[in-house]
Amino acid sequence: MQTPEPNAARLTTLTLFGIRKGHMRWGLAQMGTSPPLLNQVPGLLFYKLMGSGKGKAFSILPDFGRYGLLCTWESEAAANAFLYDSELMQTYRQHTYETWTLRMYPLQSHGYWDKKTPFEPVLAAPPAVGPVAVLTRASVNWLALPGFLRFGLQTTKALDQAEGLLCSIGLGELPLVRQATFSVWESVEAMKAYAYRQRSHQEVIKRTRLENWYSEELFARFAPVASEGTWHGADPLGQVLSAKA
Protein backbone atom coordinates (compact mmCIF):
# COMPACT_ATOMS: atom_id res chain seq x y z
CA MET A 1 0.00 0.00 0.00
CA GLN A 2 1.15 3.52 -0.82
CA THR A 3 1.04 6.81 1.08
CA PRO A 4 -1.60 9.12 -0.46
CA GLU A 5 -0.69 12.44 -1.99
CA PRO A 6 -1.86 15.37 0.19
CA ASN A 7 -4.85 17.52 -0.87
CA ALA A 8 -5.75 15.38 -3.91
CA ALA A 9 -9.33 14.12 -4.23
CA ARG A 10 -9.21 10.36 -3.87
CA LEU A 11 -9.83 8.59 -7.18
CA THR A 12 -12.15 5.69 -6.40
CA THR A 13 -13.16 2.75 -8.57
CA LEU A 14 -15.84 0.12 -8.16
CA THR A 15 -15.55 -2.95 -10.39
CA LEU A 16 -18.32 -5.55 -10.53
CA PHE A 17 -17.50 -9.01 -11.84
CA GLY A 18 -20.08 -11.35 -13.36
CA ILE A 19 -18.71 -14.85 -12.78
CA ARG A 20 -19.17 -17.46 -15.52
CA LYS A 21 -21.36 -20.49 -14.88
CA GLY A 22 -19.18 -23.31 -13.66
CA HIS A 23 -16.66 -20.85 -12.19
CA MET A 24 -18.56 -19.82 -9.05
CA ARG A 25 -16.38 -21.89 -6.73
CA TRP A 26 -13.38 -20.01 -8.19
CA GLY A 27 -15.15 -16.68 -7.59
CA LEU A 28 -15.86 -17.50 -3.95
CA ALA A 29 -12.26 -18.60 -3.41
CA GLN A 30 -11.00 -15.17 -4.52
CA MET A 31 -12.34 -13.66 -1.31
CA GLY A 32 -9.43 -15.39 0.38
CA THR A 33 -6.80 -15.67 -2.34
CA SER A 34 -6.95 -12.21 -3.97
CA PRO A 35 -6.18 -9.98 -0.94
CA PRO A 36 -2.49 -10.98 -0.68
CA LEU A 37 -2.10 -10.02 -4.35
CA LEU A 38 -4.03 -6.78 -3.91
CA ASN A 39 -1.75 -5.85 -1.01
CA GLN A 40 1.13 -5.69 -3.51
CA VAL A 41 -0.54 -3.50 -6.15
CA PRO A 42 1.44 -0.26 -6.69
CA GLY A 43 -0.56 2.88 -5.97
CA LEU A 44 -3.50 1.07 -4.36
CA LEU A 45 -4.33 2.95 -1.15
CA PHE A 46 -7.38 1.08 0.13
CA TYR A 47 -9.50 -1.79 -1.16
CA LYS A 48 -12.40 -4.04 -0.26
CA LEU A 49 -13.25 -7.22 -2.13
CA MET A 50 -16.90 -8.02 -1.44
CA GLY A 51 -19.60 -10.50 -2.24
CA SER A 52 -23.08 -9.41 -3.26
CA GLY A 53 -26.69 -10.19 -2.54
CA LYS A 54 -29.64 -10.72 -4.84
CA GLY A 55 -31.65 -7.60 -5.61
CA LYS A 56 -30.88 -3.90 -5.54
CA ALA A 57 -29.53 -3.51 -2.00
CA PHE A 58 -29.26 -5.47 1.25
CA SER A 59 -30.38 -9.09 0.92
CA ILE A 60 -30.21 -12.21 3.06
CA LEU A 61 -29.75 -14.23 -0.16
CA PRO A 62 -26.17 -14.24 -1.52
CA ASP A 63 -25.41 -13.94 -5.22
CA PHE A 64 -22.42 -16.20 -5.88
CA GLY A 65 -22.28 -14.99 -9.47
CA ARG A 66 -21.30 -11.39 -8.77
CA TYR A 67 -18.50 -9.81 -6.73
CA GLY A 68 -17.31 -6.26 -6.25
CA LEU A 69 -13.89 -4.67 -5.82
CA LEU A 70 -13.82 -1.16 -4.37
CA CYS A 71 -10.48 0.68 -4.55
CA THR A 72 -8.97 4.09 -3.89
CA TRP A 73 -5.89 5.12 -5.83
CA GLU A 74 -2.78 7.22 -5.59
CA SER A 75 -3.22 8.28 -9.22
CA GLU A 76 -5.13 7.57 -12.42
CA ALA A 77 -2.00 5.95 -13.85
CA ALA A 78 -1.92 3.46 -10.97
CA ALA A 79 -5.60 2.61 -11.51
CA ASN A 80 -5.06 2.14 -15.26
CA ALA A 81 -2.05 -0.11 -14.76
CA PHE A 82 -4.04 -2.39 -12.48
CA LEU A 83 -7.34 -2.41 -14.40
CA TYR A 84 -5.83 -2.91 -17.85
CA ASP A 85 -2.50 -4.66 -17.39
CA SER A 86 -2.32 -6.51 -14.08
CA GLU A 87 -2.11 -10.28 -13.97
CA LEU A 88 -4.88 -10.41 -11.38
CA MET A 89 -7.36 -8.58 -13.61
CA GLN A 90 -6.40 -10.74 -16.57
CA THR A 91 -7.19 -13.79 -14.46
CA TYR A 92 -10.56 -12.34 -13.47
CA ARG A 93 -11.41 -11.72 -17.13
CA GLN A 94 -10.81 -15.40 -17.87
CA HIS A 95 -13.45 -16.38 -15.29
CA THR A 96 -16.06 -13.69 -15.94
CA TYR A 97 -18.62 -13.07 -18.67
CA GLU A 98 -18.75 -9.32 -17.96
CA THR A 99 -17.16 -6.61 -15.83
CA TRP A 100 -18.20 -3.06 -15.14
CA THR A 101 -15.98 -0.35 -13.66
CA LEU A 102 -17.13 3.05 -12.43
CA ARG A 103 -14.55 5.76 -11.76
CA MET A 104 -15.54 8.51 -9.38
CA TYR A 105 -14.32 11.18 -6.99
CA PRO A 106 -15.70 11.65 -3.46
CA LEU A 107 -17.94 14.63 -2.79
CA GLN A 108 -18.31 14.00 0.94
CA SER A 109 -17.55 11.24 3.39
CA HIS A 110 -18.54 10.71 7.02
CA GLY A 111 -17.56 7.87 9.31
CA TYR A 112 -15.01 5.08 9.23
CA TRP A 113 -14.27 1.79 7.49
CA ASP A 114 -12.01 -0.44 9.57
CA LYS A 115 -11.07 2.72 11.53
CA LYS A 116 -9.93 4.44 8.32
CA THR A 117 -11.29 7.33 6.23
CA PRO A 118 -10.52 5.96 2.74
CA PHE A 119 -12.40 8.59 0.71
CA GLU A 120 -10.66 11.69 1.98
CA PRO A 121 -9.81 14.24 0.79
CA VAL A 122 -12.89 15.06 -1.30
CA LEU A 123 -13.40 17.27 -4.34
CA ALA A 124 -12.87 20.93 -3.51
CA ALA A 125 -15.40 22.06 -6.15
CA PRO A 126 -18.27 19.57 -6.63
CA PRO A 127 -19.95 19.52 -10.06
CA ALA A 128 -23.19 21.49 -10.26
CA VAL A 129 -25.09 18.83 -12.24
CA GLY A 130 -24.84 15.18 -13.18
CA PRO A 131 -25.28 11.77 -11.56
CA VAL A 132 -24.31 11.05 -7.98
CA ALA A 133 -23.18 7.74 -6.46
CA VAL A 134 -23.86 6.85 -2.83
CA LEU A 135 -22.15 4.31 -0.61
CA THR A 136 -23.53 3.37 2.80
CA ARG A 137 -21.56 0.84 4.80
CA ALA A 138 -21.94 -0.53 8.34
CA SER A 139 -20.79 -3.17 10.77
CA VAL A 140 -24.00 -4.40 12.42
CA ASN A 141 -24.12 -5.18 16.14
CA TRP A 142 -25.26 -8.76 16.65
CA LEU A 143 -27.97 -7.77 19.16
CA ALA A 144 -29.40 -5.31 16.65
CA LEU A 145 -29.45 -7.80 13.78
CA PRO A 146 -33.20 -8.68 13.95
CA GLY A 147 -34.22 -5.02 13.63
CA PHE A 148 -31.66 -4.39 10.92
CA LEU A 149 -32.93 -7.36 8.91
CA ARG A 150 -36.57 -6.36 9.22
CA PHE A 151 -36.25 -2.72 8.24
CA GLY A 152 -33.32 -3.21 5.88
CA LEU A 153 -35.42 -5.53 3.72
CA GLN A 154 -38.26 -2.98 3.67
CA THR A 155 -35.88 -0.29 2.45
CA THR A 156 -34.59 -2.62 -0.24
CA LYS A 157 -38.10 -3.17 -1.56
CA ALA A 158 -38.65 0.59 -1.70
CA LEU A 159 -35.74 0.93 -4.12
CA ASP A 160 -37.76 -0.94 -6.75
CA GLN A 161 -40.05 2.10 -7.06
CA ALA A 162 -37.42 4.81 -6.59
CA GLU A 163 -37.45 7.40 -9.37
CA GLY A 164 -34.11 8.45 -10.81
CA LEU A 165 -32.26 5.33 -9.65
CA LEU A 166 -29.81 4.24 -12.36
CA CYS A 167 -28.42 1.16 -10.60
CA SER A 168 -27.79 -0.25 -7.15
CA ILE A 169 -26.34 -3.32 -5.49
CA GLY A 170 -25.88 -4.74 -2.02
CA LEU A 171 -22.29 -5.68 -1.20
CA GLY A 172 -20.73 -7.21 1.89
CA GLU A 173 -17.48 -8.32 3.47
CA LEU A 174 -19.32 -10.80 5.71
CA PRO A 175 -22.90 -12.07 5.39
CA LEU A 176 -25.48 -9.97 7.27
CA VAL A 177 -23.14 -8.17 9.69
CA ARG A 178 -20.73 -6.22 7.45
CA GLN A 179 -22.88 -4.72 4.76
CA ALA A 180 -22.77 -1.96 2.15
CA THR A 181 -25.19 -0.58 -0.42
CA PHE A 182 -23.93 1.19 -3.52
CA SER A 183 -26.35 3.16 -5.68
CA VAL A 184 -26.15 5.65 -8.54
CA TRP A 185 -28.81 8.31 -9.12
CA GLU A 186 -29.60 10.61 -12.03
CA SER A 187 -29.15 13.64 -9.79
CA VAL A 188 -28.70 14.80 -6.21
CA GLU A 189 -32.38 15.77 -6.21
CA ALA A 190 -33.48 12.21 -7.10
CA MET A 191 -31.23 10.75 -4.39
CA LYS A 192 -32.56 13.17 -1.76
CA ALA A 193 -36.17 12.47 -2.75
CA TYR A 194 -35.64 8.83 -1.85
CA ALA A 195 -33.42 9.37 1.18
CA TYR A 196 -35.50 12.05 2.91
CA ARG A 197 -39.07 11.37 1.77
CA GLN A 198 -39.28 7.59 1.65
CA ARG A 199 -40.93 6.43 4.89
CA SER A 200 -39.10 3.13 5.37
CA HIS A 201 -35.73 4.79 4.78
CA GLN A 202 -36.53 7.44 7.38
CA GLU A 203 -37.52 4.72 9.84
CA VAL A 204 -34.17 3.01 9.34
CA ILE A 205 -32.31 6.27 10.03
CA LYS A 206 -34.28 6.81 13.24
CA ARG A 207 -33.88 3.27 14.56
CA THR A 208 -30.19 3.23 13.71
CA ARG A 209 -29.65 5.92 16.34
CA LEU A 210 -32.22 4.82 18.91
CA GLU A 211 -31.27 1.13 18.92
CA ASN A 212 -27.51 1.45 18.32
CA TRP A 213 -27.51 -0.82 15.29
CA TYR A 214 -23.93 -0.22 14.16
CA SER A 215 -20.52 -0.55 15.77
CA GLU A 216 -19.03 1.35 12.80
CA GLU A 217 -20.58 3.10 9.81
CA LEU A 218 -19.65 5.19 6.80
CA PHE A 219 -21.62 7.31 4.34
CA ALA A 220 -20.08 8.75 1.19
CA ARG A 221 -21.22 10.51 -1.99
CA PHE A 222 -19.27 10.50 -5.23
CA ALA A 223 -19.23 12.24 -8.59
CA PRO A 224 -19.00 9.56 -11.33
CA VAL A 225 -16.59 10.55 -14.10
CA ALA A 226 -16.26 7.44 -16.30
CA SER A 227 -18.06 4.14 -16.80
CA GLU A 228 -16.71 1.15 -18.71
CA GLY A 229 -17.98 -2.34 -19.43
CA THR A 230 -21.38 -3.88 -18.72
CA TRP A 231 -23.58 -4.80 -15.78
CA HIS A 232 -26.43 -7.15 -16.67
CA GLY A 233 -25.52 -6.67 -20.30
CA ALA A 234 -25.48 -2.85 -20.45
CA ASP A 235 -23.51 0.14 -19.22
CA PRO A 236 -25.90 1.76 -16.69
CA LEU A 237 -24.15 5.15 -16.88
CA GLY A 238 -22.91 5.26 -20.44
CA GLN A 239 -25.61 7.53 -21.84
CA VAL A 240 -25.84 9.70 -18.72
CA LEU A 241 -22.13 10.49 -18.67
CA SER A 242 -22.04 11.00 -22.43
CA ALA A 243 -24.85 13.55 -22.16
CA LYS A 244 -23.03 15.33 -19.34
CA ALA A 245 -19.86 15.57 -21.46
pLDDT at 4: 43
Residue spans of the domains in the chain: they are 11-244
What amino acid is encoded at 141 in this protein? N
- State how far the Cα of 45 lies from the Cα of 11, in Å rounded to an integer: 10
Backbone conformation region of residue 233, classed left if phi is above 0, alpha if psi is from -120 to 50, else beta: left
Distance set, CA 137 to CA 15, 49, 154, 219 (Å): 17, 13, 17, 6
Q: pTM for this structure?
A: 0.87
Region for 217 from its dihedrals, namely left if φ exceeds 0, alpha if ψ lies in -120 to 50, beta otherwise: beta
Classify burial at 7, counting beta carbons within 10 Å of its beta carbon; exposed 0-12, middle 13-18, buried 19 or more. exposed
Sequence-distant (6+) residues with CB within 8 A of 218 are: 109, 110, 111, 112, 113, 135, 136, 137, 138
CATH number of this structure's domain 11-244: 3.30.70.100
The reported pLDDT for the residue numbered 1 is 43
Contact 49/34 with Cβ under 8 angstroms? Answer: yes
How far out from the chain centre does Cα 37 lie? 20
Question: What does the pLDDT read at residue 153?
Answer: 60
Closest CA to 95 of 64, 53, 72, 73: 64
**DSSP state letter for 231:** B
pLDDT tens per residue across all 245 residues of the chain: 444 444 589 999 999 999 999 999 999 999 999 999 999 999 999 999 999 988 776 666 789 999 999 999 999 999 999 999 999 999 999 999 999 999 999 999 999 999 999 999 999 887 778 899 999 998 877 666 666 666 666 666 667 778 899 999 989 887 666 788 899 999 999 988 887 766 655 656 665 665 567 678 999 999 999 999 999 999 999 888 877 66
How many angstroms separate the CA atoms of 194 and 185, rounded?
A: 10
